[in-house]
Amino acid sequence: METKGSTLKAYELAREYFAATGVDVDAVLDKLDAVPISMHCWQGDDVRGFENPDQELTGGIQVSGNYPGRARNAGELRADLDLAMSLIPGAKRLNLHALYLEADKPVGRDAIEPRHFQNWVDWAKAKGIGLDFNPSCFSHPLSADGRTLSHPDKAIRQFWIDHCKASRRVSEHFGKSLGTPSVMNIWIPDGSKDFPFDRFGPRALLRDALDAVIAEPISQDFHFDAVEGKLFGIGAEAYTVGSNEFYLAYAATRKVMLCLDAGHFHPTEEVADKLSAALSMIDRVLLHVSRPMRWDSDHVVLLDDPTQNIANELVRGGVLPRVAIGLDFFDASINRIAAWVVGTRNMRKALLRAMLEPATALKDAEAKGDGALRMALFEEHKSSPWTAVWAQYCESRNTPAGMGWMDTVKTYERTVLAQREG
């Protein structure tokens, strides 16, 4: 796609503006383009997966809405992802859950193998993207009572340990096949609806179960382990076994990645503020960028203050190489492909705005204790011509700069999504 004359002219003026603040815009765009964002497969089918379409969604996970066009099988989901990814500039990955396997006959979650995900590997290889992975410790008869890796029943606990071990082998296969390490994130719904007597016991069981899961060494050339905490969940309001504090300590002592999900904290907490704290003690962090609305409701990511603050910290701290950025929202009340496009583009917009900050001037003002100048620089940047840079970036990467992408999505909705039933 050739850059439109008006877009290029606006970009050239913006480039001059930012150059005067000490920012090389062309270098910024090259840096921005290389940052991968891992899109989540479960936005496309409302977290149903292909293991058992009749399985009830459990584990405190809720998806609201019934907008037409949900992907019903892996072929439809990949087609939807193809369209969404074509409308999003920059490097991308796909994050898969274990329940998105493809098999001719039922497969126990403790028996999944790389071959059950080979179609995903072939698809990713053709697109030149990486894959990430997650054990699915929910929506299963053995998770029905809200306990998995901390279950007091040894046999049930072992089932989930074996599932996570099998998932690590799948993740390793992704890394070996695609030439980029897969990040495998472990989240469990374990907790209590009302106040428990024993808080220590389940956490000891979880610690030992996780130790068993990661006991077999896997090269970080192919695979990273991550653990994801949560403040509370539906059905686990009083006590969450895998809290952020538990997993922060676990990540620090076991040298695994800590997953920080933007929806898993108190509404007054800022995930952005946690990055510098966590990365002072641990090597790597996985981000699940989402938008909680009064609770962990996983709304589509907006270009709002929390999202921008996350991007700012990643860029200001120079920690992008140590952080894996993934998305985690699922809105079934709107066109699901549009949700992917809006959310992923917004995450990249936030990164662009952060990279365009007058960092040198801000550092100098802060070093001199000039709070007024620092504040003025922050505020002036909010109205800087970053949108002209975004437009040029999109067009130069063969993606629509403005709302043109929505026409493509609406055409697909009429010709493809509308033909789907159920």
Q: How far apart are CA 89 and CA 292, in angstroms?
A: 25
- Name the maximum alpha-carbon separation found in the chain: 68
Kind of pairing, strands 182-186 and 257-261? unpaired
Indicate the burial class of 154 (C-beta count within 10 angstroms; 0-12, 13-18, 19 or more). Answer: exposed
Q: How many Cβ atoms are within 10 Å of 398's Cβ, its own excluded?
A: 10
Nearest to 202 by CA among 161, 149, 145: 149
Q: How far apart are CA 16 and CA 22, in angstroms?
A: 10
Under 8 Å between Cβ of 128 and 322:
no
Nearest to 311 by CA among 352, 277, 283, 278: 352
Q: How many Cβ atoms are within 10 Å of 281's Cβ, its own excluded?
A: 11
Tokens 């070093």 belong to residue: 367
Distances in Å between the Cα of 403 and the Cα atoms of 34, 87, 132, 342 are 24, 10, 30, 10
Q: Which two tokens stand for residue 170?
A: 């799948």
Q: How far apart are CA 210 and CA 135, in angstroms?
A: 12
Q: How far apart are CA 289 and CA 310, in angstroms?
A: 9
Q: Which two tokens stand for residue 297?
A: 């409701």
135 DSSP assignment: -
Residues assigned a catalytic role:
187, 228, 230, 261, 264, 288, 296, 298, 328
Identify residue 288 by its one-letter amino acid code.
Answer: H
Q: How many Cβ atoms are within 10 Å of 349's Cβ, its own excluded?
A: 20
What would the DSSP string read from start to end of 149-191? Answer: TT-SSHHHHHHHHHHHHHHHHHHHHHHHHHTSPEEEEE----E
- CB-facing half-sphere around the CA of 324: CA atoms within 13 A: 31
Q: How far apart are CA 94 and CA 132, in angstroms?
A: 6
